[in-house]
Structure 1
Amino acid sequence: MEEKNLDQVCDTYKQYLSQAKTERECVSLLVKLAKENGYRELDEYKELKPNDKIVIPYMNKCIALFQVGKQPLEKGMNILGAHIDSPRLDVKQNPLYENEGFAYLDTHYYGGIKKYQWVTQPLAIHGVVVKKDGQKVEIQIGEKEDDPVFVITDLLVHLSSSQLNKSASMVIEGENLDVLIGNQASEAEKEAVKANILQLLKSNYNIEEDDFVSAELEIVPAMKARDCGLDRSMIIGYGQDDRVCAFTSFMAMMDVKEVDRWSCTLLVDKEEIGSVGATGMQSRFFENMVAELVARTQGESELKVRRALANSRMLSSDVSAGYDPLYADVFEKRSSAFLSKGIAFNKYTGSRGKSGSNDANAEYIGWLRNVMDQADVSYQFAELGKVDAGGGGTIAYIMAKYGMQVIDSGVAVLSMHSPYEVTSKVDVYEAYKAYRAFLSWEDEK
């Protein structure tokens, strides 16, 4: 039975991962699925009662799901928080140009990437173009079997002696991550290849060149998520940081039945660039949502909003660095997360001297161990890597500002931030189990 459940969770996860490669696509998919599972938007409720289910999308780039608890909201929530943005290439606002018979899209990379990993990969274009009249044109090219794909070219090895002597960060420079999109000329005399691309955009999507200014187009790997390994024990796919935690959090939320405390799954944007902007965790949109829900259920009260946030517990659902024996020199083995050993809890992240870390307290970790053991969840405790090897952060420290208990918890990943990341099916399933147990936990009265 357990193996059957594992396969079902992982197959569903792979479908989500292949269908939604941008934050907008994640929100669109999850809103649809949530409504199919009984969730309704807040304005559809005249009043809220225990176990009502609420879905709140925000700016099409982040989403919050709530299940009303038996206890008042000021008593706090059990919150899962993950991010749905991933490293990628963003198309610039004036991107289309022609150079020696080739048409290109100029890009600006988003998040921390190794630039050389993005060349000679089959790429897809996802996103939206918003015209001056407000019409929104959705773009997705490169995912269907009969779609064209795109590529960033690399220098042939026969002429690359100088290139190969550069440091890895400079082998491919950011301004050279331009996507090749065409080579066929139209009948126009000047910039004939570019003119042909514009003609295709006009005929297929009714897009003019000026419309790029109000577009959000993302360049992402074209491959679907697939099983990895002869034993099919792993999953390979783009964007598993952090959609492996986002989608398992969502799946757990859908499976929660009745709750004592309010439960919440919060999936946000912009984590990869510092959680900034209106849809990043540093925005006050979540606080505003909680204030609205307090007003609906207990009457307007700033104090009760503060209590609701401070009394909450959160799992900052973000991935951890999986121990890779090929690069053992940057890991401290005793404190590493291993694939197939269960969900990984990181007491702290940050860099060097825990800079930028939340650093969860011992009391919360002790409570959490009990929750996981009661639910028969496999788990491990880890840190990102050796102390001076580097570091990274999550949204945990931002939510901790409200005074709530927070710890990082997620799936160990190999090749993190690369176009194709690897996870263990066992860990995906144990993360789902952990999140479901956390959301459903009832404190002793």
Structure 2
Amino acid sequence: MNKKEIEQLKTKLFKQDRLAWDELASAETEKVFALAEDYKIFLDRSKTEREAAGQIVARAEDKGFISMDAALKQGSVSPHQKVYSIFKEKCVALAVVGKAPIQDGMNLIASHIDSPRLDLKQNPVYEDTDLALLKTHYYGGIRKYQWMSIPLALHGRIIRADGETMDITIGEGADDPVFVVSDLLPHLAGKIQEDKKLSEAFEGEKLNLIAGSLPLGKDSVSDRFKLALLNLFHQRYGICEADFVSAELEAVPAGRSRDIGLDRSLVGGYGQDDRICAFTELTALLETKAPQRTALGLFFDKEEIGSEGNTGAQTAFMADFISDLLRLTTGAGAVTEQTVRRALINTRALSADVNAAMDPDFKEVHEKMNAAKIGHGVCMTKFTGSRGKSGSSDASAEFVGAIRTLFDKNNIVWQTGELGKIDQGGGGTLAKFLAQRGMEILDCGPAVLSMHSPFEIASKADIYMTFKGYHAFFA
């Protein structure tokens, strides 16, 4: 074979490494940047799972979705009708009813809307060394040092003793105060931090928020810094110390998401794992008009702690929503546990979650032949888990093949990836919990840098390709 023939054979046989930017037409590039602007708005308004659920419902209603309660009163739904349900203000289901019977299966995408953060403890307020502080308990997998010496905002809900609900946000306005976890200066960090393993140097019990330093009363008054802080909370929200017991308050990075780079090709911001998938899933579903199979979008809470609790992917919420859809399309008498199970078994699903992009400064933790890269499109992750794929849903060759063919047909740039080298670490997604219902499922989402940090990084081209991929799957 001559050189030209060899090159032609390489082109034919070798898997091509594709950069999304290389395959975008100029008109599509404009769409990439427009979508990213909308994404940043969604991200900045969705810093907690409650806020994200509220944004999802608001956007759905704006596009003509009606609540499940309204649909049940109506008695039935017809093909192409749009229905939603919100569960405990932390989970959302959206459906565009298809032409095919629901018991024959749906096209389902599921993401999660919780992110790592610092939660206030139930008895958080105290004082020490003439400072008023708030004790926290970290949520999800964080690197503790990343949450020190950065401005933090407080978001959440308090249920007062009189039963009144108070939603608060402190630290997001231009003139708002912020909170901070202090760190140790390098001059004194030797024995207490720098001589220890990183996993031991930063203690969870020391991730406490500085919240004030003005006392209330003379120095003869005990606990006057704590009293001053509680008095401010009482003046503003009418709450007392005991009200923190019935509160869900989250300390999250203050400020808005930003463009990264002079070319503005990247988005940096808090909570992109996994609200980047929630946004692209939502946007794709809102643009789905007349699917053959019912298009179902699910948005769960609690994935970062194993999808536990009554708002995680292990809850009965999904099955109940599908049962209601069956009732609306087939009549109440036709709905049994078996028909719900059959609908789930026949469903095809994407677990919409991010993968880790290969960091140019830490290539050694990745196996480069099977690592995702920033800017190379939506990433299909056949399996997750750790060690010998423990805790993973391992997608079938048939289903991976079907998604690959779908993406190629719709000019969607895609890649594959694993979460680091074998035995390097690993992680899981909500895929395994949906897979237990018998459905075909594949992890699929963009790759991000600095995952689980307070400021994650994603490519605008990958956001766009993920949206396109989800839309093709729904449609």
**Structure 1 segment 94-243 matched on structure 2, within 5 A:** 94-162=123-191, 163-187=193-217, 189-243=221-275
**Structure 1 segment 34-433 matched on structure 2, within 5 A:** 34-45=60-71, 46=74, 47-162=76-191, 163-187=193-217, 189-298=221-330, 299=332, 300-433=335-468
> In the alignment, is the contact (CA less than 8 A) between 1:321 and 1:337 conserved in 2?
yes
> In the alignment, is the contact (CA less than 8 A) between 1:87 and 1:417 conserved in 2?
yes
1:43 to partner: Cα distance: 1.6
Tell me the equivalent position of 1:27.
53
- Percent identity, aligned pairs only, is 47
Deviates more, 1:362-371 or 1:341-350: 362-371
Tell me the C-alpha RMSD between the 2 structures: 0.9
Name the amino acid aligned to 1:328. K
- For residue 204 of structure 1, give the secondary structure of its aligned residue in structure 2: helix
In 2, the alpha carbon distance for the partners of 1:154 and 1:132 equals: 35
Q: Provide the TM-score with structure 1 as the length reference.
A: 0.98
In 2, the alpha carbon distance for the partners of 1:74 and 1:286 equals: 14
What do the CA deviations read for 1:195-236 (whole angstroms, capped 9, x no partner)? 111111111111111100000000100021110112111110
Runs of 4+ residues deviating >4 angstroms: none
Name the amino acid aligned to 1:282. Q
1:164 to partner: Cα distance: 1.2
- For residue 326 of structure 1, give the secondary structure of its aligned residue in structure 2: coil
In 2, the alpha carbon distance for the partners of 1:203 and 1:325 equals: 50
Name the amino acid aligned to 2:217. E
In 2, the alpha carbon distance for the partners of 1:157 and 1:365 equals: 50
In 1, the alpha carbon distance for the partners of 2:388 and 2:263 equals: 40
What do the CA deviations read for 1:371-420 (whole angstroms, capped 9, x no partner)? 11111100001111101101000011110111110000011011111111
In 2, the alpha carbon distance for the partners of 1:69 and 1:37 equals: 17
1:132 to partner: Cα distance: 2.9
1:97 to partner: Cα distance: 0.4
- Say which one has the larger Rg: 2
> In the alignment, is the contact (CA less than 8 A) between 1:88 and 1:109 conserved in 2?
yes
Segments of 5+ residues of structure 1 without an aligned counterpart are: 441-445
> In the alignment, is the contact (CA less than 8 A) between 2:134 and 2:211 conserved in 1?
yes
1:369 to partner: Cα distance: 1.2
In 1, the alpha carbon distance for the partners of 2:96 and 2:324 equals: 14
1:134 to partner: Cα distance: 2.5
Q: Provide the TM-score with structure 2 as the length reference.
A: 0.91
What do the CA deviations read for 1:241-278 (whole angstroms, capped 9, x no partner)? 11111111001111111111000110100000010000
What do the CA deviations read for 1:287-346 (whole angstroms, capped 9, x no partner)? 121112212222322221111101101000000010112111110001010010000000
> In the alignment, is the contact (CA less than 8 A) between 1:98 and 1:194 conserved in 2?
yes
In 2, the alpha carbon distance for the partners of 1:418 and 1:170 equals: 18
